[in-house]
Amino acid sequence: MRRWFLYAAVSVTALIVLVVLAGLTLPKSHRASRTRTFPAPPEAVFAVVSDFIKYPEWRRDVRAMVVDGQGGVGTVVHEDGSNGSIPFRVEVFEPPSRLVMRIADPELPFGGTWTYELRASGTGTELTLTEDGEVSNPIFRVMQKLFFSPYETIDTFLENLEKRLGRS
């Protein structure tokens, strides 16, 4: 019985060491970007994506929002959703063309920015949403590689925005 326990303990320890070593070989940073066109002017699209308090009305992955500030640079937005509770700080606020938000909790196992770039396109707006992410924990890097797509959150956001605004 003790021998089986020893084998199990050594196997689990070896697996953890292998996962950590594999994670150390994976890049800490990643970039994911998507572009969609919406049938609304840049001012209207920017108004929706920067009205953080209303996110629970149209983003199915957000339960609640708390906004500390007036909405411009320095505002901290606490998003409570499917990914847990995450604070974001507004770093760039340039209506109606650019918004940059950074994860504002250095204790989280991930971080980075979301950049919204809007430009007029025909009768609508082309929105490019870019995630420049970092995963510091090597075990989480392996989990991300195996089980999560860096595009998943962006795609969900854009699908929800599409329902809110319609699509051209």
pLDDT digits (tens, 9 = 90+) for 33-85: 999 999 999 999 999 999 999 999 999 999 999 999 887 899 999 999 987 89
Q: What is the pLDDT of residue 71?
A: 76
pTM value is 0.84
Average pLDDT (22-36) is 85
6: confidence class by pLDDT, cuts 50, 70, 90: confident
**Which pLDDT band holds residue 168 (cuts at 50, 70, 90)?**
very low
5: confidence class by pLDDT, cuts 50, 70, 90: confident
Q: Quick one: angle between helices 152-165 and 42-49, nearest 10?
A: 120
Please report the pLDDT score of residue 24 as a whole number.
Answer: 67
Q: What is the mean pLDDT of residues 26-30?
A: 85
Token pair for residue 19? 């996962």
pLDDT at 112: 96
**Is domain 2-165 classified as CATH 3.40.1350.10?**
no
Residues 6+ apart with CB under 8 A from 113: 91, 100, 101, 102, 103, 131, 132
pLDDT band, residue 19 (cuts 50/70/90):
low
Q: Is the peptide bond before 96 cis (omega within 30 degrees of 0)?
A: yes
Encode pLDDT of 104-151 as tens digits: 999 988 899 999 999 999 889 999 999 999 988 888 777 777 788 889
What does the block give as tokens for 149? Answer: 């797509």
